[in-house]
Structure 1
Amino acid sequence: MGIGSTAAELHAGLVEELRKSGRITTPEVADAFAAVPRHLFVPGIPLKEAYRDDAVFTKRAPDGTPLSSVSAPWLVATMLERLDAAPGDRVLEIGSGGYNAALLSRIVGEKGEVTSLDIDPEVIDRAESALRSAGVDEVRLLTGDGTLAVPDGGPYDRTVVTVQATSIALAWLEQLTADGRLVVPLRLRGLGRLLTFVRAGDHWVGDGWDLCGFVRMRGPAALDPMATTPLGEGVRLRWDGGPPPDADALTTALVGERHEVWTGVTVGVTEGTRPVVDLWLATVLDVFGRLHTTGTAPAGVRALPGGSPATWDGTGLAHLTMRPADPGASRFEYGVVRYGGDASTAVEFAHQLRIWDRDHRDGPGPVLRIFPRGGPECAARVCRLLDRPGPAMVLAWP
């Protein structure tokens, strides 16, 4: 679109872009996107910015930390397709902004109900104003803690969480109907993924695993276990749970001898294996985090884009790496870099990569099982009970 493109042209262009990319796959979601102008929910920015397929941050803390946003259209569409709401459904949205609620209102229709809840009264006020300007007056807006129950609107057929969670609130499950569905961006061992949960007997099963990033949940029950440990200039280790790493020992190891262990596991550049490999390593490595580096890191210390999965002990650290496997760099080989410590750490790390290649590379991937009544066991061949408050969660591979 040119500089003088109108809102209607930009709006239509965005919907068409989402169709072509496969983010919109159903007529119901397409109709909702076509009916709701996005620029009304992100006032004060240029029209072209409003219809760009990217998130718009609508509130920040004094230090610049994002507190509220209108998510990127591709992610909104993905969540709506996953939610699979139908006319007449009652839907609960945790984390408001107005835009997603307006789309949901269009999907569920006059016989349905949409409740949008946010902990921040300012966010609710802004959502109310935007919904009014869009002519949407059917959405019920509430201020409150999203981890608590909203009983007078339930039971809900669908619940969608639009803020980053690190655990599942029991109220989200208890207020869903028997065939209800929960869509939530969940951070597990430091990895942000979009999951869809459905009931399976006495527990819930979640999968999907789309990469995603959201403004984190706020409130007294909003756990944020992520921690960052600097390891000298240009190096930091991000970790989620477990004992803290020995920063001094690991900083010393990183400027010492470097060893590489190559696995023979090669992947094509278009296969997109990194997200699933990261999940595999987060399951099988007892000590797990992500190593991040900048250009000022010591020579030879380089993490993969987005951070390298890493494990460590009291004297050394090992992390995932890759190298070209052919002259044209159309394929890459997975390997492990070790700094200090016992060589067995890197050998076991590489062994786990070969197991993924042999047993899970072309498989369905993991599922996350939630047990509201507790008492789960790792019944799968490969699984990990996650240390989180609330309902027990087990990350399992078939």
Structure 2
Amino acid sequence: MDLDADVTAAALRAALVKGLQHSGRITSAPVAAAFEAVGRHLFVPGVPLEDAYRDDVVFTKRDVDGSPLSSVSAPWLVATMLERLEARPGDRVLEIGSGGYNAALLRHLVGAGGSVTSQDIDPEVIGRAGRCLAAAGCGDVRLVTGDGTLGVPDGAPFDRVEVTVQATSVAPAWLEQLAGDGRLVVPLRLRGMGRLLTFTREGDDWVGGGWDQCGFVRMRGPGAVDPVVTARPAEGVRLRWDGGPPPHGEALAAALSGVRREVWTGVTVGPSEGTRPVVDLWLATVLEVFGRLHATADAQARVGLRTLPGGSPATWSGDSLAYLAMRPAGSGGSRFEYGVVAHGGDGTVAGEFARQLRSWDRDQRGGPGPVLRVYPQGAPDVRPAVGRVLERPGPPMLLTWP
């Protein structure tokens, strides 16, 4: 790269850092310094400089069907995870899922006294990361090809473990290879929803919180499990669920062509309150049968659906289906009301759904939100009044609300 390009890249890095600070994604001086020091363009060769510094994901490998297999994550998400991780000078860090850029940022954060190990199941991804890291002057990052769910035992204990691929459970190895005061940051798919969680130890257990919405390339390998199942009850309509009893396809189709009703709750929110992710988690906890309903614009018009962007939390029973909806509350677009749209003959499904929305408004709104607790294998069965045991391989996980 010539001198002018170097100057341009430095200016683009500075502008990116400023934007991430303004948005609240970068909140600490060490993370800001790492972003300013490490050239993202070195990890996306062939991409125009301006695109390399956009706050967006760059996919670096795809499957034969076009599905992404590896990527350099969007800077806002990289920054969020690094702020959560709180890597310190001298720390030993394990990264699960390699791309190079995040490992280089980690290397800057831990300094000469620390170390970074980056693991990926794909040798092609590891090879690419190694070339990019060498170009960035980070050739001392240890690169390991292997199943990420097994970690890197010969490098343990680690002070920090950061998982940069979508997981569906907390692998026992990640916790076993963490130091007692360690910290794990991992994007988990819980009941079909992607959330970024930070785990720290509390006695014999690990407690996770944070709950940022996120999307990642899925984890691959024999230890990776994708429990999400999809039903298609009508053209342009998808119902996805993760655990629990599956719906009957013909019954769902019958529900969509049956009686339609709306139940509005009187629970109103402002567009800037950001309640949707919290409400989605609440419904995923309290509804025994839970999934997400997606519909194209054409299907919404044809079937009479009013699903929300990103999919609506949904529940079903027999030949009935109910899902979350919103409508304007008053004029001006300053308030919206939560409600339930139901299809089929069982009116109690919509009634219970609406009752739980009102319960959230009464008991949880504005509160600290949920906690995901991970117990050691063989721990006693603990089920609080408001909580859900997540059906996963590995350590027991319990989603609870205060």
**TM-score interval for Structure 1 and Structure 2 normalised by the shorter chain:** over 0.9
Task: Please give the secondary structure, in 1, of the residue aligned with 2:181.
Answer: strand
CA distance, structure 1, for counterparts of residue 335 and residue 230 of structure 2 = 32
- Write the letter of the residue equivalent to 2:307: A
Cα distance, 1:81 vs structure 2: 0.4
CA distance, structure 1, for counterparts of residue 43 and residue 184 of structure 2 = 24
**Aligned residues of 2:264 and 2:340 also touching (Cα < 8 A):** yes
CA distance, structure 2, for counterparts of residue 233 and residue 225 of structure 1 = 23
- Of 26, 29, 46, the match for 2:28: 26
Pairing 1:20-59 to 2, within 5 Å after superposition: 20-59=22-61
Question: Structure 2 vs 1, CA of residues 4 and 182 (structure 1 numbering), >3 Å: closer, same or farther?
Answer: closer
- Of 113, 116, 121, the match for 1:114: 116
CA distance, structure 2, for counterparts of residue 172 and residue 113 of structure 1 = 17
Runs of 4+ in 1 over 6 A off after TM superposition: none
Cα distance, 1:278 vs structure 2: 0.1
Deviations 1:279-332 (A, max 9, x none): 000000111000001022124112100000000012110000011111112101
Pairing 1:122-161 to 2, within 5 Å after superposition: 122-161=124-163
CA distance, structure 1, for counterparts of residue 153 and residue 134 of structure 2 = 25
CA distance, structure 2, for counterparts of residue 125 and residue 164 of structure 1 = 21
- Of 294, 298, 304, the match for 1:300: 304
Question: Structure 2 vs 1, CA of residues 231 and 26 (structure 1 numbering), >3 Å: closer, same or farther?
Answer: same
- Write the letter of the residue equivalent to 1:118: D
Matched, 1:228 2:235: no
In the superposition, the TM-score normalised over structure 2's length comes to: 0.96
Deviations 1:134-173 (A, max 9, x none): 1112210010001114122110000000000000100000
Question: Structure 2 vs 1, CA of residues 113 and 38 (structure 1 numbering), >3 Å: closer, same or farther?
Answer: same
Bigger shift: 347-356 or 242-251? 242-251
Give ranges in structure 2 of 5+ residues lacking alignment.
none
Pairing 1:1-398 to 2, within 5 Å after superposition: 6-297=8-299, 298-398=302-402
Task: Please give the secondary structure, in 1, of the residue aligned with 2:368.
Answer: coil
Cα distance, 1:379 vs structure 2: 4.6
Question: Structure 2 vs 1, CA of residues 5 and 230 (structure 1 numbering), >3 Å: closer, same or farther?
Answer: farther
CA distance, structure 2, for counterparts of residue 181 and residue 24 of structure 1 = 19
Identity of matched residues, %: 71
Task: Please give the secondary structure, in 1, of the residue aligned with 2:148.
Answer: coil
CA distance, structure 1, for counterparts of residue 197 and residue 17 of structure 2 = 24
**Aligned residues of 1:376 and 1:392 also touching (Cα < 8 A):** no
CA distance, structure 1, for counterparts of residue 317 and residue 367 of structure 2 = 31
CA distance, structure 2, for counterparts of residue 150 and residue 332 of structure 1 = 49
Task: Please give the secondary structure, in 1, of the residue aligned with 2:117.
Answer: strand
CA distance, structure 2, for counterparts of residue 374 and residue 264 of structure 1 = 44
Bigger shift: 8-17 or 345-354? 8-17
Cα distance, 1:51 vs structure 2: 0.4
CA distance, structure 1, for counterparts of residue 191 and residue 13 of structure 2 = 38
**Aligned residues of 1:317 and 1:341 also touching (Cα < 8 A):** no
Task: Please give the secondary structure, in 2, of the residue aligned with 1:296.
Answer: helix
Task: Please give the secondary structure, in 2, of the residue aligned with 1:353.
Answer: helix
Cα distance, 1:5 vs structure 2: 8.6
Task: Please give the secondary structure, in 1, of the residue aligned with 2:82.
Answer: helix
Deviations 1:371-391 (A, max 9, x none): 023334445330001110000
Aligned length: 396
**Aligned residues of 2:96 and 2:151 also touching (Cα < 8 A):** no
**Aligned residues of 1:314 and 1:341 also touching (Cα < 8 A):** no
CA distance, structure 2, for counterparts of residue 149 and residue 327 of structure 1 = 54
CA distance, structure 1, for counterparts of residue 229 and residue 345 of structure 2 = 22
Cα distance, 1:244 vs structure 2: 2.2
- Write the letter of the residue equivalent to 2:201: R
**Aligned residues of 1:164 and 1:215 also touching (Cα < 8 A):** yes
CA distance, structure 2, for counterparts of residue 245 and residue 323 of structure 1 = 27
